[in-house]
Structure 1
Amino acid sequence: MAIVGGILLVGVALLAITIRRAGRLRLELEAEALRREAAAEARLAELLKAQAEMQGRLVAMSDVFGNRQAELNQAINQRLDGLTHRIGTTITEQTKSTHENLRHLQERLALIDAAQNNIQSLAKDVVGLQAILSNKQTRGAFGQSRMETIVADGLPMGAYTFQSTLSNSMRPDCTIRMPNNSPPLVIDAKFPLEAWNAIRDADTAEAKKLAGQQFRRDIEVHIRDISDKYLIAGETQDMAFLFVPSESIFAEIHENFEAVVQKAHRLRVVIVSPSLLMLSIQVIQAVLKDQRMREQAHVIQGEVLHLMEDLARLDDRTRKLQGHFLAAQKDVDMILTSADKLTKRGARIEALEFETAAAAPVEEGPRTVESRTGLLKLRIVDED
């Protein structure tokens, strides 16, 4: 029991100590709570003060921001107005430029349409020309027409004839009269174009080779026919022209068919293109003109002789007239001399001298006359 009582006493003591410590702790907690409450109130007062200051700053910043916003709005409005004006001006200029470009485009489109119409017309002409060249007779007429145009433009009437008949009943396409009563020059305008078109249309090298051989044979036969039919001694020139109505064909013949050209030269046949024929016509025209001048040389010489005779007669008559003028001049000089003498005598008469002398003797003589009332002296010197 004593032990239990001791334990109870100890427990009571511990409980008292615990209660005392709990009270002290409660007081400390209350004091700490008061301190914290006072600190919180002070902190709250500071926060309220800071809030008031912040509100003042916010009001000031609101005023500043309002002013700045107003200025910014005004500046933005001004810039927007200027930008709107510039955009309107730019749009107006762009619209004007666009209309101008559209007008130019319409004009160019009109020109393109006209050019397209011309191209279509040219295409029709090319198709017609192709149709002409596809027919042998019409192709020959085309070459004949071109040759006749070149000859007629370059030579005067009477210097050429078309389709004239030779003594062997052959009718060359053109004969040109040569100067000095030389035989005329023969021009043939027929050209074997079928084989040439075959060369152009050949797809393979073998076909092109065969077409080239056929063309060589055809043109050699044609050259031989020209030499046999149109080269007549004493009636025509010893060479003839084979007219090729295309410069490109002429160039390719001389480039790829040199043997044909050499054979034509041996047979005295000259292959000519339109430009070479025109040049030859101009040379023939110059030669004909020189011949006409030489034919008229004796007429000019006779006229010069007549002119010299007329000039000699004119010189003789001029010299006779000059003699008459010299005689008349001599007479005029004598008349002028007599007139000068008469003038001098008149001047001396105007210079008569009168002298007054009283009761002076009078002497009569051939040169001096004196009187009692005065002295009159007349001195005349004969200078004849």
Structure 2
Amino acid sequence: MVEIYIILSLVIGIGIGYAIANKNNNSNDDGIDSIKKEMENTFKALALDVNKSNTEEFFKLANDKFQGLSKESDTNLENKKKLIDENLNEMSKRLKSIEDASIKLNENLESTNTQTKDLTKTTIKLREILSSSQKRGQWGERIVEDILNVIGLMEGVNYTKQGVVESGERPDFTFKLPKEKIINMDVKFPLAHYERYIDSDDEQIRNSEKSAFLRDVKKHVKDITKRSYIDPSSGTLDYVLMLVPNESIYSFINKEDSAVIDFALENKVLLCSPLTLYAILSLIHQATRNFAMEEKATEVMSLLNTFRLQWSKYVEAMDKMGRRIDDAKKEFTSLVSTRTNQLQKPLNKIDDITNLVEDTNQVTKLEGQQKF
């Protein structure tokens, strides 16, 4: 491009010099105008060439620049796309984790709702059970029966249910003990005031219901002592069992007024929570089994003596049989050896004679053939 400007300057300079020379040679103005016009045309042509060259150079530079920018832009876009994809993948993973956690939370909520509904139903049923004395008794009986099944006690063998005593009354359970002794148990328990105590939020009402509940327990103890559940002349022990159907209720009584338990013991009534009852019945079961074993001990010893006598006779008979077998074996050996040998000797002689006769006949036959 610099070269073009140099050429243009030279052309202009030559044109000016040519015009001056023509003027010195007394040329007319028409020649000068012609030269000017020719120079103008030449300049225009050169300008067009310069513009064209500049335009091409510009477009080339612009294209190179555009290509560079395009490549850089593509690289940037690719990097941004990669970064966006990575962010999207990470976000997808987080969304999946949130979705899984949400599903699990929903499942847990559904399970909790189901358990809450079941608990509500159970609570309603429990309230219905506790609403009447008869149903409370049935509930207590079910608790005792579960304990009896775990221990292994059998109805009719180890205990009776609702059996009639001599006075005509019916204890809920009667347990059989060694030496034809028995112990009775009552499973009904006053829970109405305790339930109101639990349900109330008013402190005054709670205190009132608590006192009423403890009074009910004492009254129930007295009522049991008035029955003929304790009657040593009829074979009962000097105590009766009274079921407290829940460990928390037993703990509540012991915590709020331990004198109630002492009062029951003074009246020969044993308050039994489910765990306490399990321990007592387990001891009764074990004691009954031990006593039964002791009762059978003499019989077992007699059987052992009889067995020992019969065993001695068996050993003696087997010894005799062994001796007889030994004698028979000796006789058999004698028959096999001595008698067999004695019988075999004549047979051997017979075989010798037979062989001798055959040999003689053979010799005679050979001699006859030789004479021929």
Aligned-pair distance for 1:160? 1.4
Partner of 2:214: 216
Partner of 1:151: 148
Alignment partner of 1:261 is 2:258: no
> Which letter maps to 2:130?
L
Give SS of 1:234's match: helix
Alignment partner of 1:247 is 2:247: yes
Aligned-pair distance for 1:321? 3.4
Alignment partner of 1:278 is 2:278: yes
Runs of 5+ consecutive residues of structure 2 not aligned to the other structure? 1-56, 343-372
Partner of 1:234: 233
Question: Whose Rg is larger?
Answer: 1
Partners of 1:247 and 1:109 lie apart in 2 by: 35
Q: Residues 59 and 197 from structure 1, CA distance in 2 versus in 1: closer, same or farther, beyond 3 angstroms?
A: closer
Contact 2:133–2:188 under 8 Å retained in 1 = no
Partner of 1:133: 130
Give SS of 1:172's match: coil
Runs of 5+ consecutive residues of structure 1 not aligned to the other structure? 1-56, 343-384
> Which letter maps to 2:125?
G
Partners of 1:81 and 1:186 lie apart in 2 by: 86
Partners of 2:201 and 2:100 lie apart in 1 by: 49
1:23-172 residue pairs with structure 2 within 5 A? 65-66=65-66, 68-80=68-80, 82-83=82-83, 86-87=85-86, 90=89, 94=92, 98=96, 102=99, 105-106=102-103, 109-110=106-107, 112-151=109-148, 153-154=150-151, 155-158=153-156, 159-172=158-171
Give SS of 1:177's match: strand
Contact 1:240–1:269 under 8 Å retained in 2 = yes
Contact 2:162–2:170 under 8 Å retained in 1 = yes
> Which letter maps to 1:270?
L
> Which letter maps to 2:226?
D
Aligned-pair distance for 1:234? 2.1
Partner of 1:177: 176
CA displacement 1:360-379 (0-9 Å, x = unmatched): xxxxxxxxxxxxxxxxxxxx
Contact 2:155–2:161 under 8 Å retained in 1 = no
Partners of 2:297 and 2:167 lie apart in 1 by: 37
Farther-moved stretch of structure 1 (71-80 vs 202-211): 202-211
Structure with the larger RCO, 1 or 2 (CA within 8 Å, 6+ apart): 2
Q: Residues 102 and 187 from structure 1, CA distance in 2 versus in 1: closer, same or farther, beyond 3 angstroms?
A: same
Give SS of 1:221's match: helix
Farther-moved stretch of structure 1 (170-179 vs 134-143): 134-143
CA displacement 1:292-314 (0-9 Å, x = unmatched): 32333334333322321232122
Q: Residues 278 and 73 from structure 1, CA distance in 2 versus in 1: closer, same or farther, beyond 3 angstroms?
A: same
TM-score, scaled relative to structure 1: 0.61
Aligned length: 290
Aligned-pair distance for 1:197? 3.3
Aligned-pair distance for 1:147? 2.8
Q: Residues 208 and 328 from structure 1, CA distance in 2 versus in 1: closer, same or farther, beyond 3 angstroms?
A: same
Aligned-pair distance for 1:284? 1.4
Partners of 1:220 and 1:259 lie apart in 2 by: 10
Contact 1:202–1:211 under 8 Å retained in 2 = no
TM-score, scaled relative to structure 2: 0.63
CA displacement 1:294-348 (0-9 Å, x = unmatched): 3333343333223212321221123223334554666688899989x99xxxxxx
Partners of 1:201 and 1:67 lie apart in 2 by: 85
Aligned-pair distance for 1:239? 0.5
Partners of 1:193 and 1:88 lie apart in 2 by: 65
CA displacement 1:101-137 (0-9 Å, x = unmatched): 6467446634642542342133122112112213333
> Which letter maps to 2:141?
Q
Q: CA RMSD in A?
A: 4.2
Q: Residues 199 and 122 from structure 1, CA distance in 2 versus in 1: closer, same or farther, beyond 3 angstroms?
A: closer
Q: Residues 116 and 203 from structure 1, CA distance in 2 versus in 1: closer, same or farther, beyond 3 angstroms?
A: closer
CA displacement 1:75-113 (0-9 Å, x = unmatched): 2244355446x459827x927973x86467446634642
- Which of 158, 166, 189 in structure 2 is aligned with 1:191? 189
More helix by share: 2
